[in-house]
Structure 1
Amino acid sequence: MVKITAAEVNNLRKTTGAGMMDCKKALVEAEGNFEKAIEILRKKGQKVAAKRADRDSSEGAAIAKVDAGNTNGVIISLNCETDFVAKNESFVALANELAELALGYTSKDDFLAASFNGMSVQEKLTEQTGVIGEKIEIGGFSNLSAPFVGSYIHAGNKIATLVGLSANVEGVATVAKDVAMQAAAMNPVALNEAGVDQSVIDKEIEIAKDQLRQEGKPEAMLDNIAKGKLKRFFKDNTLVNQAFIKDSKQSVAQYVKSADANLEITGFERVALG
């Protein structure tokens, strides 16, 4: 039998993230062949992934990254099954590494096919499923481009947001972070009224009419009153119209313009776990 040294086991562990015993078993099975041992561990991951394919992976880490020029940003969530794994330092470190790589991609499929340390991202996820023993996958994937992009990650990596602003002016980084925090905390459905899906609008109007009927309001009055309630819905649920959480006397749009009269929010992205 080929003798396996501790250094070889440690090298395989560093390369794959697998446990020491799993690495030793793989090297023994591969008769000391390093590449074959990696393949053995990958196949183990594939078997575990197949068994856990129908498991819920609602825990994990949502990570936002912005490029050096602050003009492009991305959010990914690296999902797992338990909060215990989600809080593991190596798991969060992997999520950050993958998010850095994701900055170069605009679609989730292209990102999953991208090369990551000698294998594809998808192969890495399968490998880690075998290593950790939980379903590991990319859940959310969103990107944003603008003249200035800012980001925010809520404590615990449960929510991550990106915000795009129309110009890179003085103080824009603070504004972007504040608005990104707003989007994380208040979960707007759209940037403004125009961004709200018509099906959502129709549903809100119907809900308002049903409430008014239960209150005994005349049918002829329902449309006008419902439109008023819809305006309230837009105020509460669209980012630019929401009351700014740091100063409720002004809207988010008014706060942004307090930094520069011509500054506007061009878009936002939000990824949340659970």
Structure 2
Amino acid sequence: MAISATQVKELREKTGAGMIDCKKALEEANGDFQKAIELLRKKGAAVAAKRAEKSANEGLILTRVFNNGNSAVIFEINCETDFVAKSDDFVKFANFIAEVLVTNKPADIDSLLQSNLDGKNVQDELNALIGKIGEKIEISRFAFENVENGLIVDYIHHGSKLGVIIVAENVPQDKVPEFQPVLKDIAMQIAAMRPISIYREEVDKSIIDKELEIYKEVARKEGKPEQVLEKIAMGKLNKFYEENCLIEQIFVKDNTKKVGNLIEEFNKQNNTQIKLLRFKRFHLSDEKK
């Protein structure tokens, strides 16, 4: 049967698939609109299977802060090329995923893929996008943060390939407007300086043991006496903490201060007891390297 341009346009608007794909699907379905949609979805699934072994190391890191600054989510969605990552279709899908995460709060990736929002199923939308674009696309990870009587601030570095959410507790509501820019600066610090923890007490013991052993071995090879190796190693470990623990890092916007000084000064000036609690830092494809 003859397929009209109006039918093709309507299917394209409904699915987002290309004009040629829509016309072929309608022709194969003999004009049956629902069947054509199913054919397009199957095409997307087929493309997804075909691209499964490809590397998807480009994409976007996005964040959403909600619940009056008491909740946030950060997530990574990947594709094969930077060109696709910048495309309107990919960005639109990423924003759809953000809304699904905020609304449905799924427990894991599988739950996310099975989620629905406004009559749209995530897996179906993903397959449709893969079919349209022809690249491997995947939602690789996400993380939620929540805090009571606190504040969460996010930061996305230019290009959306690096994102941070930082959580602070004991933030009085009337101090939120003043403290928010301070916390934003700290989020930018995390993006730039890549700390492994906020406080030195949080550093994994295995990391500390490894560092101490390295410092001792270096000093030993330099000919230092065995009895002073421990003291030398501990001195170097303090330097390690200063470089890798957020609260002890030199503040990138003012090298006369440490990050901890920002919190101390704010608390002193405002009679508050604000404390940094947790952070998440997602850099594109970090976990794939």
Name the TM-score class by shorter chain: over 0.9
Task: Provide closer, same or farther for how the CA distance between residues 47 and 263 of structure 1 changes in structure 2, counting only shifts above 3 A.
Answer: same
Correspondences of 1:106-117 after superposition (within 5 Å): 107-109=107-109, 110-117=111-118
**Residues 92-148 of structure 1: per-residue CA shift (max 9 Å, x gap):** 222122112212415233322211453432332232222111110012311111221
Q: Distance in 2 between matches of 1:117 and 1:130?
A: 21
Q: Distance in 2 between matches of 1:83 and 1:200?
A: 35
The answer on 1:118 being equivalent to 2:119 is yes
How many residue pairs end up in the alignment? 273
- 1:161, CA displacement in angstroms? 0.8
Task: Provide closer, same or farther for how the CA distance between residues 48 and 163 of structure 1 changes in structure 2, counting only shifts above 3 A.
Answer: same
Secondary structure of the corresponding residue to residue 195 of structure 2? coil
1:164 is matched with which residue: 146, 164, 167?
167
1:150 is aligned to 153
| TM-score normalized with structure 1 length | 0.93
- The alignment yields a C-alpha RMSD, in angstroms, of 1.8
**Residues 165-200 of structure 1: per-residue CA shift (max 9 Å, x gap):** 111424122122111111111111112222222222
2:57 is aligned to 58
Secondary structure of the corresponding residue to residue 140 of structure 1? strand
Gaps of 5+ in 2: none
Q: Distance in 1 between matches of 2:86 and 2:191?
A: 20
Secondary structure of the corresponding residue to residue 24 of structure 1? helix
- Contact between 2:100 and 2:116, CA under 8 Å: does it hold in 1? no
Q: Distance in 1 between matches of 2:30 and 2:182?
A: 58
Correspondences of 1:18-57 after superposition (within 5 Å): 18-57=17-56
Counting aligned pairs with the same residue, the percent is 43
Correspondences of 1:234-249 after superposition (within 5 Å): 234-249=241-256
The answer on 1:254 being equivalent to 2:253 is no
Q: Distance in 2 between matches of 1:125 and 1:36?
A: 18
- Contact between 2:190 and 2:281, CA under 8 Å: does it hold in 1? yes
2:203 is aligned to 196
- Contact between 1:72 and 1:103, CA under 8 Å: does it hold in 2? no
| TM-score normalized with structure 2 length | 0.88
Q: Distance in 2 between matches of 1:67 and 1:180?
A: 17
1:10 is aligned to 9
- Contact between 1:171 and 1:259, CA under 8 Å: does it hold in 2? no
Secondary structure of the corresponding residue to residue 143 of structure 2? strand
Q: Distance in 2 between matches of 1:226 and 1:123?
A: 56
Q: Distance in 1 between matches of 2:95 and 2:125?
A: 14
1:79 is aligned to 78
- Contact between 1:61 and 1:86, CA under 8 Å: does it hold in 2? yes
**Residues 233-264 of structure 1: per-residue CA shift (max 9 Å, x gap):** 11111222211111121111211232334222
Gaps of 5+ in 1: none
